[in-house]
Amino acid sequence: METKNIEEDTGKNMPEKKFRAGGVCATVWENHGQTKEGERATYKTISVERNYKDKNDEWKSTNSFRVNDLPKLSLVLSKAYEHVALKDMTSDALA
């Protein structure tokens, strides 16, 4: 069963999948647009962030990474790419 990633009530785009390693996260989004010919097109984007607690013990997020975050960033990006690539291969096989 496939999950919808656009809530009908709000029109808000929901993440397709999230991959986490500690405070580092890669999120896969499915987006919709149009080609130059006016046909509907679907494409994926990946966003990355690092979550941390500030000096007031409140959760924050940033798109900047420390050197020690890079192995985790590499891992979550690899998993996000694997998810997108394998899903595309499955879709191609069903067509």
**Statement: residue 6 has pLDDT above 70:** no
pLDDT greater than 90 at residue 90:
no
Domain of 39?
17-94
The answer to whether residue 2 is domain-embedded is: no
**DSSP 3-state of 90:** helix
User: Which residues, 6+ apart, have CB-to-CB distance to 42 below 8 Å?
Assistant: 30, 31, 32
Rg (CA), the chain: 16
Residue 33 within a domain:
yes
Q: Is the pLDDT of residue 75 over 90?
A: yes
Let me know if residue 9 belongs to a domain. Answer: no
Which comes out higher in pLDDT, residue 51 or 6? Answer: 51
pLDDT tens digits for range 10-41? 567 899 999 999 999 999 999 999 889 999 99
Q: Which of 19, 28, 31, 24 is nearest to 63 (CA)?
A: 24
In this prediction, residues 64-81 reach a mean pLDDT of 97
Q: Does residue 11 lie in a domain region?
A: no
Q: What percent of the chain has pLDDT over 70?
A: 81
- Write the single-letter amino acid at 68: N
Tell me how many domains the chain contains: 1
